Amino acid sequence: MTQTETDPQQPAPATVRSQVRIPLTFPDGYRVEAEVFTFHGLADGAEHLALALGTPGAEPPLVRLHSECLTGDVFGSDRCDCGPQLRESVERIGETGGYLLYLRQEGRGIGLYNKLDAYALQDAGLDTYQANTALGLPEDGRDYTAAAQMLATLGVGAVRLLSNNPDKAQQLAGLGVEVTERIPTGVHVSASNVRYLRAKVEHTGHSIRLAGLVG
């Protein structure tokens, strides 16, 4: 289903700062070549990356907005599903052609130390959103203006969005990016992240099918 917003606001233009080819090898042996772009003029001033993977075809490219997660992406934490989502997304985008935008938005925009503080509150019984607000922080502080700028700079006006999060599609549409389809990622559930995933489904309407996988 196409996601639309009335009166989209076009963000200011950005420019490509650099472009370099990097071969990627994942711990399970999967390999792919990525063309990595950096940018000047992004709205939040952060060092976001765009990874072009595969060869885009005639239809809108497959695109994932992946928020940085040091604990999950690098150290393999089971408290979230970020690492498996990143691995899955790179392969799926590589097969069809598209872009992975790696966004420096640790902890839904609250930062690494705050995210770890929120983990401690989750251990005391709060869910992932309640923990953020208990710290006086937004439930989800992410803004995707820079992502829309990156896509525009790369000449991408319409995308098939690889995401379980409806807010990403809604924000992109409001920023002038046409989301022709929102495609969910797989369900990467474990004993350590099931409360986290359930909170995303119940609190913000993520399209994660937990029925039959957990009790």
73 is catalytic: no
- 9-47 pLDDT tens trace: 788 889 999 999 999 999 999 999 999 999 999 999 999
Q: Answer with the residue of higher pLDDT: 188 or 165.
A: 165
Instruction: Pick the range with the lowest mean pLDDT from 57-66, 115-124, 144-153, 200-209.
Output: 200-209
CA distances from 70 to 18, 19, 86, 100, 111 (A): 24, 24, 12, 17, 10
Q: Given 73, 81, 117, 140, which residue is catalytic? A: 140
Q: Given 142, 182, 195, 209, which residue is catalytic? A: 142
Q: Answer with the residue of higher pLDDT: 5 or 70.
A: 70
Task: Give the Cα separation of 184 and 81 in Å (integer).
Answer: 13
pLDDT band at 164 (very low <50, low <70, confident <90, very high): confident
Percent of the chain with pLDDT strictly greater than 70 = 83
∠ CA(46), CA(166), CA(190), 5° rounding? 85
Instruction: Round the average pLDDT of the chain to a whole number and report it.
Output: 87
pLDDT band at 5 (very low <50, low <70, confident <90, very high): very low
- Tell which residue, 47, 45, 6, 15, has the closest CA to residue 155: 15
87 is catalytic: no
pTM, to two decimals:
0.87
Residue 25 tokens, joined: 């090898």
Q: Do 4 and 175 contact (CB within 8 A), yes or no?
A: no
- pLDDT attached to residue 214: 47
